[in-house]
Amino acid sequence: MNKKILVIGTSNIDFIFRVPHFHQVGETIVAEVMTTAFGGKGANQAITIKQLGSKVIFLTKLGNDVYGEQYKKYFLKKGMDAKWILKDKKLPTGMAIIELSPKGENRIMVSPGANHSLLPKDLIKNPPPWKEINLFLTQLEIPLETVSTGLELAQTYGVITILNPSPGQRLSSRILSMVDFLIPNETEAEIISGIKIRKDKDIEKIGNILMEMGSRNIVVTLGEKGLFFKNQDETIWMEAFKVDVKDTTAAGDAFIGAFAHGIHKGWPIREVLKFANASGALATTKIGAQPSLPMKKDLDDFFLNNLKY
């Protein structure tokens, strides 16, 4: 397949603090270890797609600082096209502060920086080669107007669309009607639908609401509980793979990147979901965002060792 996946999204420098516990209001704690890594939802998802073997165009915006220069060199080393790696002359590169607990759970604060200057004009002045693209993936860490413009252009060219609605926010039916695959986690699904999840039937109710609002396929990622999928034809519950969790930071991005890869390849939906589930699980077994993203061989080996799934 010669077609490409277009990802539009963020690039952040992650500062990861391994802490003995999440601190309380007014409490000062000492981190056991502090490390830095490349991150950002858009970048994580694009790198996952690239490492799994699909052709990807990643449109992002870095800051005019040393972190931006380092990140650009990293992208070029990974085989990304420099044409789509934009620079804001005034704002810094996006950053994230990540607290990581002994259980591998995280709390994240993001300073968007240059990511928030990735605007619709960047899609219009320097348009991606839409005729070479069959799938468009984006998230909500960039301005909503940019997300909307990207979805509109993708629809115009008959391109499949995937939206990862993170960070969670209420979305209009107009936005959701342009989304072929909506992939929120539990919290994001609650925010968009207005329904609190207390039991499994609430997740099914959310699936119905999101479809009524316009989305054609819904995937709710449920962490260690697996996932829920729904469209007009079928409903699927799928358990998570059992792994030794060390850091959940980029698990959702690894899932979504693998999901996009499978849809791009035209696989049956159950195969796509299983593949994405494995990718997300593998990402939790290493520390850091992009250092944890699986290669194709990692997933091949993982499935060989988990034949019962």
Angle at CA of residue 168, ends 157 and 175, nearest 5°: 30
300 is catalytic: no
Chain length of the chain: 309
Six token digits for residue 235: 């409903």
**Angstrom distance (rounded) from CA 137 to CA 181:** 9
**Angstrom distance (rounded) from CA 112 to CA 198:** 32
Structure-token match 């005034």, residue found: 90
Exactly one of 14, 88, 247, 253 is catalytic; name it. Answer: 253
List beta partners, residue 86: 61
**Angstrom distance (rounded) from CA 10 to CA 44:** 9
Active site residues: 253
